[in-house]
């Protein structure tokens, strides 16, 4: 198969680990030049070195609009344009409502929702006709789960934002969202370990998935690639890549 992103420039946030890193690797294999944005410079640099000269690093916190503006401007200056934006940066706090303090609530909204907006706002004027934005939603964009009020709210907001941007940027730029279920990433591992015995909670998580396994980050990256490079008639849509969790 020909490289589906040959000659394209992609900006990937949350690129230092998990789904963001898997997306960066897949996009590089598909021929894209990459602007990699994440908060931790060390892991971000390691990914960029792995991918070679076609990747640059943009250390920034997506929750900080000034940092985002500077990073996106640097990417556009380096490459001349941004063809694809993938908003993977995210954070999660799990706990009962009364345990969720103001800082935890705001941080989830600022990173998951405002961060997606800030990056999209800065990138949109630099995306040529035919480009696309892919936002990372979640199974919890469309279903509720106890202990995850802030995460559910922020990820539901991502879907609303996706649809609004799709309406505004059409017909020139497509905007879609992918909504994974539980994915085998460092964030999920840390989440389960915060609740108690990891092995028991890991098994319970798998049990609620009809396909009876966790997704791999690479599988989610493949869905992102489909939305970015192949789904030419899709905009304002969500791809529920959740192993069936939202269907049962």
Residue 151 designated active-site: yes
**CA-CA distance, 50 to 149, in Å (whole number)?**
37
Question: Can you say how many angstroms the Cα of residue 10 is from the centroid of all Cα atoms in its chain?
Answer: 13
Using alpha carbons, list the distances in angstroms from residue 162 to 37, 171, 234. Answer: 20, 14, 12
**CA-CA distance, 177 to 84, in Å (whole number)?**
13
**CA-CA distance, 220 to 226, in Å (whole number)?**
10
**CA-CA distance, 151 to 141, in Å (whole number)?**
8
- Which listed residue (148, 151, 198, 233) is catalytic? 151
Q: Show which residues are catalytic.
A: 151
């Amino acid at each position: 198969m020909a490289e589906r992103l040959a000659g394209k420039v992609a900006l990937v946030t949350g690129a230092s680990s998990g789904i963001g890193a898997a997306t960066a690797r897949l996009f590089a294999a598909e021929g894209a030049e990459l602007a990699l944005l994440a908060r931790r410079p060390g892991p971000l640099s390691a990914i960029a070195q792995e991918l070679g000269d076609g990747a640059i690093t943009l250390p920034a916190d997506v929750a900080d609009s000034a940092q985002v503006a500077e990073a996106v401007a640097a990417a556009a200056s380096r490459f001349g344009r941004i063809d694809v934006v993938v908003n993977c940066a995210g954070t999660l706090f799990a706990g009962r409502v009364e345990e969720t303090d103001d800082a935890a609530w705001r941080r989830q909204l600022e990173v998951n929702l405002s961060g997606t907006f800030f990056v999209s706002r800065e990138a949109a004027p630099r995306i040529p006709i035919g480009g696309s934005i892919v936002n990372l939603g979640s199974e919890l964009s469309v279903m509720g789960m106890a202990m995850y009020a802030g995460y559910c709210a922020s990820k539901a907001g991502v879907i609303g934002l996706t649809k609004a941007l799709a309406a505004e940027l059409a017909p020139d730029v497509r905007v879609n969202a992918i909504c994974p279920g539980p994915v085998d990433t460092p964030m999920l591992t840390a989440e389960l370990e915060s609740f108690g015995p990891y092995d028991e909670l890991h098994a319970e998580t798998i049990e609620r998935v009809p396909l009876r396994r966790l997704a791999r980050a690479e599988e989610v990256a493949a869905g992102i690639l489909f939305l970015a490079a192949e789904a030419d008639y899709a905009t304002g849509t969500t791809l529920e890549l959740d192993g069936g969790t939202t269907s049962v």
